[in-house]
Amino acid sequence: MPTDPAVPAVPAGSWPDREVRPLTRPGTTLLRGLRRTPAVRPERCGLCSQRVDDGHRHLADTAARALVCVCIACALLFERPDGQREGQREGQPERQEQGRAPAQGRYLPLPDRCLTDPGHEPDEAAWTALRIPVSTAFVLDNTALGRRILCYPSPAGATEAERDEDAWRAAFGNSRLAAVLRPDVEALLLRRTGDRIRCLLVPVDVCYELVGRMRLRWRGFDGGAEANADLDAFFADLAERAEPLPKETVA
């Protein structure tokens, strides 16, 4: 087929030189938009929908067995100047017999205390009675279920386990921390490192914060180096924050 002598022949498998033009401004804007990470939706108060900052407070929803993020204003609605919880009757003790629900409202504010009892740490018999399959677990009294439950972190979140009354008595029958544990809002956080078993009384949201962190970092069967380093740092922070239980407290 004859070619036009005015148009230079192009060798097979190649393209003629063309002017390379810079990407237009609309084009760069489009690419930047595609690369942009989607905006993180801000957390909001579960009661009034007001935006809440990091470090916001929580309420325990005893009906839903969940924690509710709340703003400062809503949190204050559930606290009383005399230190009693909303819905608690005058003179009523906070600690109730196992299996009995105290008179209270649906939403309970979480205390901010963190306690330890250095002279009365759990022993090997207590750990064996609880049959904890990992190095870390927490225990709380759940009034909605009417019993005490054991939870431990896992890649899937908080895993619940039931234990009978004999196991609870063997583990915590002489525990001063268990004696002052407030149902639904506090937990006993346990960790075993070597031959030592540490136990702290903490707000229950501390435990679920730990569950969330482990869910993000856990690798393999034993969690991996990153998860275990994070556990060490987490418990070190709690140890600095914790205060010893008063000596006059009895189990």
Give the pLDDT confidence of 132-185 residue by residue, as tens digits. 988 999 999 999 899 999 999 888 889 999 999 999 999 999 899 999 999 999
* 47 domain residue, yes or no: yes
128 and 221 belong to one structural domain: yes
74 and 157 belong to one structural domain: no
197 and 132 belong to one structural domain: yes
152 and 189 belong to one structural domain: yes
* 32 domain residue, yes or no: no
154 and 233 belong to one structural domain: yes
* 13 domain residue, yes or no: no
* 58 domain residue, yes or no: yes
**109, 134, 158 - which closes a domain:** 109
Query: Distance of CA 18 to CAs 3, 15, 21, 82, Å?
Result: 21, 8, 9, 82
**Series of mean pLDDT values for 10-residue runs along the chain (251 residues):** 52 51 53 57 89 89 91 86 44 39 72 92 92 93 93 89 92 93 97 93 96 87 84 95 88 71
How many domains is the chain partitioned into structurally?
Answer: 2
* 3 domain residue, yes or no: no
Q: Map residue 141 onto helix, strand or coil.
A: strand
Q: Which of 159, 134, 162 is nearest to 149 (CA)?
A: 162
104 and 132 belong to one structural domain: no
100 and 154 belong to one structural domain: no
Interhelix angle 224-241/204-217, rounded to 10 degrees, is 160
214 and 150 belong to one structural domain: yes
The parent domain of residue 160 ranges over 111-251
Whole-number Å distance between alpha carbons of 91 and 159 = 36
**67, 85, 109 - which closes a domain:** 109
β-bridge mates for residue 158, sequence order: 153
165 and 247 belong to one structural domain: yes
Q: What is the per-residue DSSP string for 189-228? A: EEEEETTEEEEEEEEHHHHHHHHHHHHHH-BTTTBHHHHH
49 and 143 belong to one structural domain: no
* 1 domain residue, yes or no: no
Residue 1, pLDDT score: 52
98 and 133 belong to one structural domain: no
131 and 215 belong to one structural domain: yes
